[in-house]
């Protein structure tokens, strides 16, 4: 059964996350639980500044699963990416991501996912193939570290507006095969797929063996159903391929956080249950 989660911005963030709720985790988890969400994805950048015991307690109280840890603000705020313009693997970025892996393993148990999107780093825009292959090396190191802790790594293809390599679902599939680690898979995002992929529905079919998690938003980065993406067809395809993971909303809190969270789950639940 497909389940529904929401991105939540951690209190350690200084800038706005793509999430209905951010900061006050007790209130956020309470509201999500009351709306019927089953999981949370936490956007964080520095686990040393986050209280894992408190988060775990709040999850239990509101009957929510921690689905994944998202790392975009590690790059967005702190500028830490795995592959820099010199094509060297950044030790500070690697150390930070390993700390997030440790945090996930300690507090949220086996199978927790750590997502790599912007934090793969910019690479060299004039040597994109070399940048990509250097990123594969970094992904292998992360996956080898994570597997000892029963943590999964997911790679998110993201659009040309944010990076220059690993843009499409097909790029992500090639990366998954090149990295070749059992705990390394894909996280697909309908916003980025709508920009980069030739056929979003066919992309889900192609990635069915590797897609472990999905970010959901409409093409305007608002709640699903507020724009032009046909989520009835998206969810129909996901059912056809046997997807049983979470759909995690990664959205602007528009027109306000409560409306965004409520409208998201109403749209998704309607298509999942029919």
Express each pLDDT in 4-63 by its tens digit.
Answer: 999 999 999 999 999 999 999 999 999 999 999 999 999 999 999 999 999 999 999 999
How many whole angstroms separate alpha carbon 34 and alpha carbon 243? 25
Q: What is the CATH number of the domain that holds 237?
A: 3.20.20.150
- In terms of Cβ atoms closer than 10 Å to its own Cβ (0-12, 13-18, 19+), residue 86 is exposed
State how many domains the chain has: 1
Asked whether residue 274 carries a pLDDT value surpassing 90, the answer given is no
Residue range of the domain that includes 55 = 3-273
Express each pLDDT in 126-154 by its tens digit.
Answer: 999 999 999 999 999 999 999 999 999 99
pTM: 0.97
Express each pLDDT in 165-224 by its tens digit.
Answer: 999 999 999 999 999 999 999 999 999 999 999 999 999 999 999 999 999 999 999 999
Mean pLDDT throughout 106-123? 96
Average pLDDT, the chain: 97
pLDDT at 268: 98
């Amino acid at each position: 059964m497909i389940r529904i989660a929401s991105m939540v911005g951690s209190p350690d963030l200084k800038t706005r996350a793509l999430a209905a709720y951010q900061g006050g985790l007790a209130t956020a988890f309470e509201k999500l639980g009351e709306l019927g969400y089953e999981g949370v994805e936490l956007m964080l950048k520095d686990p040393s500044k986050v209280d894992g015991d408190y988060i775990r307690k709040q999850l239990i109280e509101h009957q929510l699963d921690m689905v994944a840890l998202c790392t975009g603000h590690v790059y967005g705020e702190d500028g830490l990416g795995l592959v820099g313009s010199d094509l060297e693997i950044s030790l500070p970025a690697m150390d930070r991501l390993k700390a997030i892996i440790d945090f996930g393993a300690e507090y949220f148990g086996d199978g927790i996912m750590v997502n790599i999107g912007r934090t793969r780093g910019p690479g060299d825009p004039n040597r994109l193939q070399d940048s990509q292959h250097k990123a594969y090396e970094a992904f292998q190191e992360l996956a080898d570290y994570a597997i000892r802790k029963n943590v999964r790594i997911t790679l998110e293809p993201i659009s040309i507006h944010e990076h220059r390599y690993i843009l499409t679902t097909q790029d992500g599939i090639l990366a998954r095969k090149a990295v070749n680690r059992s705990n390394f898979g894909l996280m697909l995002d309908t916003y980025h797929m709508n920009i980069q992929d030739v056929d979003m529905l066919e992309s889900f079919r192609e990635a069915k063996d590797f897609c472990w998690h999905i970010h959901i938003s409409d093409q305007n980065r608002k709640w699903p159903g507020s724009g032009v993406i046909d989520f009835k067809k998206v969810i129909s395809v996901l059912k056809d391929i046997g997807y049983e993971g979470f759909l995690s909303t990664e959205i602007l809190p528009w027109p306000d956080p409560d409306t965004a969270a409520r409208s998201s789950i109403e749209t998704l639940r309607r298509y999942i249950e029919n």
